[in-house]
Structure 1
């Protein structure tokens, strides 16, 4: 009888911690890997060797900004790809609803529609961003990057800047 009580107590605590953890990662914060070099030098500036293995940056995503879509120019966000919902991209917001954006390599101007934003990678030579697929709906944004949490030598806050600041 005692073993059953111990197992029930363990299972109860395990599921409680899991439910609380799931709620926190769904509503408040989570951790996401950064793949590729489109955000270099801010994220993944070069492959870091840790114990002889290459490692990508892992970042902390703050999700309370999604409540009212509170974003600013220069925020780095993670969003679902407009063309494939299973892909996630990480880019910097360069224009918000109502802003006018100049299209590079042409002389056209585009007004960002309400409920959308314009995103670009810091490393424009290897970035698939709004220059490829246009504005993205704010509803596809999954969170704002606030800190690098891995690898240990890169732990720290992300600085908000615009592409013109680089």
Structure 2
């Protein structure tokens, strides 16, 4: 197998049977660390607003402090769970010999896949991309988490190439 595409969240390999994508655990952990960082910044902002904001600051500070505390607690719980509970099967296989996609242990025939698409959003100088399949009219996430990338064009091209592969094999 030769490496086909790689980023912080996954590595894709080309093989004689199609494309194999191996997800990395650290992609979703980075996302949780970013959420924890934002929660800490808002908490600090709440304290500063309460100390130096006058009457308006005293009115707004409790919302900032309790809101950020809630975000921090949820993010920390998710972080701890993510460290201990990792998905058992993080391989995604686009098998062109059987015309099937193996996704988190489930086999989906290419004929059931209407489209492979994505949504992107700029975040903190990077782009978050969520790739999803439309299978029998229902959206299914392709990856376990949103993909944070500094190269959205390369990621978009990769997703489009996967979509072309599915459509080509489906029509063959």
Instruction: Please confirm whether the aligned pair reaches a TM-score higher than 0.5, indicating the same fold.
Output: no
TM-score with structure 2 setting the length: 0.25
TM-score for the superposition, normalised by structure 1: 0.26
Higher helix share: 2
